[in-house]
């Protein structure tokens, strides 16, 4: 399971109130798109879900437990740019999380553990469409390939929650459509809950099961610092997904495994899979 509960969360920087009394329950396996004007606090909100920032008031719970005060392997993240390490190859980037989590004293795996991690990383690299690029460095990849790599890097840790901050914003439309298809497939095949910030309404309504808008209710210049943004719209796109799809990434995750209804049809209509 991976339910997020955001309870009366405020975020203030000094005198500036960025977010004001945000309450939201994100169901396990939902795909939430977060939209809103520039500067309204979307990235700040995402950083709080990641554990990089703490709410000034209120609390955030993941599966009923207070979110740890720092980023952890249960939350993966992809930013618009610079999510991957330039000095590591594709394979090195995907392996990195495993090396840090698997080896206690040194960030290095040995023997069978390393072989297994490499096999898993190679499979995932294939899943995101980067097979053959294992030994390339990020600078040798296109923007779309780099974002695929960033996804693989986040997914190898099988996060409960995947946080995306305008991950496809810098890609041109053709590449973006391709990566949307990939993103949908990954979401269907894993158990994770996704929260994605985007400026692109079309992207929000194409990918998400729920679209949330943050806005300041009062936006007069003299009030800007005193009132934060909060949820002003909450739109369900599809009924919440209750059942899990057979998973290629996380067979060990809990949750029922039954074929899915309309989500699969949706993929079928995009030509991704046969109905």
Ligand X SMILES: Nc1ncnc2c1ncn2[C@@H]1O[C@H](COP(=O)(O)OP(=O)(O)OP(=O)(O)O)[C@@H](O)[C@H]1O
Binding stretches for ligand X (CB under 6 A): 13, 18, 36, 38-44
Between the alpha carbon of residue 169 and those of residues 143, 188, 204, the distances in Å are 10, 22, 12
DSSP string, 4-23: EEEEEEEEEETTEEEEEEEE
Sheet holding 65-66, edge to edge: 65-66, 57-62, 4-13, 16-26, 229-236, 210-216, 31-35, 193-197, 161-165, 75-78
- Torsions phi, psi of 115, nearest 5? -60, -45
Provide, rounded to whole angstroms, the least separation between the CB of residue 37 and Mg ion: 11
Residue 84 interacts, among Mg ion, ligand X, none and using kind-specific CB cut-offs from 5 to 8 Å, with none
Q: Does 146 interact with Mg ion (rule: CB under 5 A)?
A: no
Provide, rounded to whole angstroms, the least separation between the CB of residue 39 and Mg ion: 8
Provide, rounded to whole angstroms, the least separation between the CB of residue 46 and Mg ion: 8
- Torsions phi, psi of 151, nearest 5? -65, -45
Site mask, Mg ion, residues 30-69, x = CB under 5 A?
-------------x--------------------------
Provide, rounded to whole angstroms, the least separation between the CB of residue 236 and ligand X: 22
Residue 82 interacts, among Mg ion, ligand X, none and using kind-specific CB cut-offs from 5 to 8 Å, with none
Q: Which residues bind Mg ion (CB under 5 A)?
A: 43
């Amino acid at each position: 399971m991976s339910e997020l509960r955001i309870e009366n969360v405020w975020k203030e920087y000094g005198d500036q109130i960025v977010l004001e009394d945000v309450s939201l329950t994100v169901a396990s396996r939902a795909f939430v798109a977060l939209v809103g004007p520039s500067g309204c606090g979307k990235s700040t909100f995402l950083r709080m879900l990641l554990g990089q920032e703490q709410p000034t008031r209120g609390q955030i719970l993941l599966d009923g437990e207070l979110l740890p005060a720092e980023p952890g392997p249960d939350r993966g993240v992809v930013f618009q740019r610079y999510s991957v390490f330039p000095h590591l190859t594709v394979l090195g980037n995907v392996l990195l999380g495993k090396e840090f989590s698997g080896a206690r004293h040194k960030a290095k795996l040995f023997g069978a553990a390393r072989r297994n991690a490499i096999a898993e990383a190679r499979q995932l690299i294939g899943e995101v469409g980067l097979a053959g690029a294992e030994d390339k460095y990020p600078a040798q990849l296109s923007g779309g390939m780099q974002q695929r790599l960033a996804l693989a890097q986040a997914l190898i840790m099988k996060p409960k929650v995947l946080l995306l901050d305008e991950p496809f914003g810098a890609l041109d439309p053709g590449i973006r459509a391709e990566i949307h298809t990939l993103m949908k497939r990954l979401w269907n095949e894993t158990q994770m809950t996704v929260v994605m910030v985007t400026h692109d309404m079309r992207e929000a309504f194409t990918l998400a099961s729920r679209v949330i808008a943050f806005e300041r209710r009062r936006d007069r210049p003299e009030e800007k610092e005193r009132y934060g943004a909060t949820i002003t719209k909450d739109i369900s796109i599809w009924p919440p997904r209750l059942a899990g799809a057979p998973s290629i990434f996380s067979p060990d995750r809990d949750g029922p495994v039954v074929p899915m209804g309309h989500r699969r049809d949706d993929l079928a209509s995009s030509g991704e899979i046969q109905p």
